[in-house]
Amino acid sequence: MLSSNDVLLELVRVQKSFLDGETSSGARRTILGGIDLEVHAGALMAIVGASGAGKSTLLSVMSGLDVVFDGEVRLNGRAIKAMSDDERARLRNEAFGFVFQSFHLLEHLTVAQNVALPLWLVKRSAKSSKRATDDETDRIREVLDRVGLGDVSPSASVRRLSGGERQRVAMARAIVHRPHILFADEPTGNLDDATSALVISVLDDLRRRGSAPSDRGTHGDGGTHGDRGKHADRSKDADRGALGDGGMHGDRGALGDGGMHGDRGAPGEHSVRCAVVVATHDPRLARRCDRVLRLEKGRLEEVAGDALRDALAD
C-alpha cells in the first residue's frame, strides 16, 4: 500500500450543486455530494459514470479550474481554494496537465505552437534564450513523437488536423511541461480503436515512467524500465519543474517539500511519476486503470470485478 506521503491531491467532503435549469423553482441539483478522494503519485485512476453525472465538473474542481465548491481540495496539503488566482494559474501551468473534452486548441497556432503554450507561459528567469529555444524544440518533438504525431509537421496549422490528431495535440500540450497530475476528460471519446489504444498506452506509460521522454520512436511501448542513465536525466528534469527548488515559493514548491520524491525507493528511478486521472466511458481505458470510481448521484464509489463490468456496460 502507498504511504500517506504519496498523496498528491486530496479531496475532503467536496460538494457542488448547480441551480436546476429545468425547474424555475430555484432548487439546486447536487452534482458532487461530499466527495472524499486521494490521488497518489503514479496512480492511473478512472472516473466513470453516465453522461451528465458530473465527471467533468469533478475534474475541474480537482484541477483548480473551478473553485466554487464546498469542502477542500488540497494539493500536497495546501488548500487550492486558499491560493490566489495567480498561484492557481501557476499550478495549472506547472503541476497540472489538462486534456479537455473538446481539446481547446488555439486554432490560429501551429501544432508546435499549441504544444509549446505551457512552456511559453512559464515564468522563467532569463536563461540563455537560444538554449531554451533549442531545448523547447527538442521537447516538443519528443512529446509529439510520444503521442504518435511524429509524422505530423510541427509547423502545420491545427485547423487541418483530424479529430484524433487534435486530440493527441491536446495530449502533447498537457504533458509537455512534465506535470505531476494529468487530468484527461474523455480522452478516447471520439477516437478510433487504434488511436484509442495509442492514447491509452501513453497514459499508462505516463504514470509509470512520468512525463519524461521515452526512447525516441518507441512510443507506447509500455516499458517501465528504461536504462538508468535516462532515468537519472529525468530526475534532473524534475528538479527544474514546478516541484524543484526554484519552484513557487523559493524553498517551497507547488506541491510542498519533497512531495514528489516521497517514493524514491531507488534513487533516480521513477522519480517523476505522474498521476493520471481520466473521466471516461471507455471500458478499454478503464480496464487499464488501477482504480475505477463510479460517479453517480453525487457519490463516488470504487468499483471492481463484476461491478466494474456492470459500470462499464452503462
Is residue 108 at the binding interface for other proteins, with CB under 8 A as the rule?
A: yes
Is 51 near ligand ADP (CB under 6 A)? yes
Rounded to 5°, the CA angle 62-66-69 comes to 85
C-beta of 37 vs 152, nearer to ligand ADP: 37
Task: Determine, following the binding rule CB under 6 A, whether residue 23 of this chain makes contact with ligand ADP.
Answer: no
Residue 98's closest CA among 143, 139, 63?
A: 63
186 contacts other proteins (rule: CB under 8 A): no
Determine the Cα–Cα distance for residues 206 and 43; give it in Å rounded to an integer. Answer: 10
| The only residue of 56, 93, 113, 271 in contact with ligand ADP, by rule CB under 6 A | 56
Q: CB of residue 300 vs ligand ADP: minimum separation in angstroms?
A: 12
Beta-carbon-side half-sphere exposure of residue 263 (alpha carbons within 13 Å): 21
Q: How many CB atoms lie within 10 A of CB 30?
A: 15
116 binds other proteins (CB under 8 A): yes
56 touches Mg ion by CB under 5 A = yes
Look at residues 191, 234, 189 and name the one whose alpha carbon lies nearest to residue 209. 234
Q: Residue 147 — left, alpha, or beta (φ > 0 → left; ψ -120 to 50 → alpha)?
A: alpha
When asked if residue 119 is in the footprint of other proteins (CB under 8 A), the reply is yes
Of 86, 151, 193, 251, which lies in the binding site for other proteins, with binding defined by CB under 8 A? Answer: 86
Q: Which amino acid is at 19?
A: L
Does residue 185 contact residue 59 with C-beta atoms inside 8 Å?
A: yes
Residue number, 112 or 198, with CB nearest to other proteins: 112
The site for ligand ADP, by CB under 6 A, has a size of: 10
Rg of the chain on CA atoms, in Å: 19
Per-residue b or e along 263-286, where b marks 16 or more CB atoms closer than 10 Å to that residue's CB: beeeeebbbbbbbbbbbbbbbebb
Which residue in 8, 45, 98, 237 binds other proteins (CB under 8 A)?
98
Instruction: Work out which of 50, 109, 156, 232 binds other proteins, going by CB under 8 A.
Output: 109
Quick one: which of 122, 156, 197, 232 contacts other proteins (CB under 8 A)? 122
Are the C-beta atoms of residues 106 and 114 closer than 8 Å to each other? Answer: yes
3-state secondary structure 109-156: CEHHHHHHHHHHHCCCCCCCHHHHHHHHHHHHHHHHHHCCCCCCCCCC
Q: Does 106 bind other proteins (CB under 8 A)?
A: yes
**CA 199 to CA 42: how far, in whole Å?**
17
How far apart, in whole angstroms, are the C-alpha atoms of residue 140 and residue 177?
A: 10
Quick note: the x/- pattern for Mg ion over 5-44, rule CB under 5 A, is ----------------------------------------
Q: Which of 7, 8, 14, 31 binds ligand ADP (CB under 6 A)?
A: 31
What is the nearest approach in angstroms of other proteins to the Cβ of residue 98? 7
Q: Is residue 92 a contact residue for other proteins (CB under 8 A)? A: yes
Binding site for ligand ADP (CB under 6 A): 18, 31, 49, 51-57
Binding site for other proteins (CB under 8 A): 60, 65-66, 85-86, 89-94, 98, 100-102, 104-106, 108-109, 113, 116-124, 132, 173
